[in-house]
Structure 1
Amino acid sequence: MKTTVDLLHIGDIARITNVDLDKIPLKLLEMGCFPDNTLEIVQIAPLGDPIYLNVNNGSHLAIRKEMAREIEVEIDEK
């Protein structure tokens, strides 16, 4: 199922399928937020922003919800 990072829940693991290079900062790409890498939702702040990610089991990132909307992912149906 395709979706975006902002719609995932804590514990979800997904594979990045697409990122909008015009809207994603270079720093996120350097930390591993590019297609075919996996990410896990580690924590979500009480009001939903920011979202704490583990990318490729190594890079831990906190990103704003508006940025998470620009990262398309695919999760396996459970």
Structure 2
Amino acid sequence: MSTIASLRIGEMGYISEETLDLIPLKLLEMGCLPGAEVQLVQVAPLKDLLYICVNGSHLAIRKETAVQIQILKANL
């Protein structure tokens, strides 16, 4: 299974139910819930921060967090 960190810019996926316990509470409160659509918008120059769009909201998360959140890639 893929993670948010494995997405390429512009690629989309849906947050998997299995990683609910690994998602920090702060991200859950901002809409990073299982089933939410995630798109990678941009990667910071040093590749530590990932800029994502979750259900229309833009968030910046660290790569160490993005590696823990499993997704199902969207078939376009």
TM-score (structure 2 length as normaliser) = 0.86
* Structure 1 residue 32, shift from structure 2 partner: 1.0
Instruction: Give the helix-richer structure, 1 or 2.
Output: 2
* Structure 1 residue 24, shift from structure 2 partner: 2.8
Q: In angstroms, what is the RMSD of aligned CA positions?
A: 1.5
Task: Show structure 1 runs of 4+ deviating over 6 A.
Answer: none
* Structure 1 residue 12, shift from structure 2 partner: 0.6
Match of 2:11 in 1: 12
Specify every segment of 5 or more residues in structure 1 that has no aligned partner in the other structure, as ranges.
Answer: none
Counterparts in 2 of 1:36 and 1:20: CA distance versus 1, 3 Å: closer
Select the residue among 45, 69, 72 that pairs with 1:71: 69
User: Percentage identity across aligned positions?
Assistant: 47
C-alpha separation in 2, matches of 1:76 and 1:16? 10
TM-score (structure 1 length as normaliser) = 0.84
C-alpha separation in 1, matches of 2:68 and 2:59? 15
Q: Which amino acid aligns with 1:4?
A: T
Give the count of matched residue pairs.
75
SS in 2 for 1:28: helix
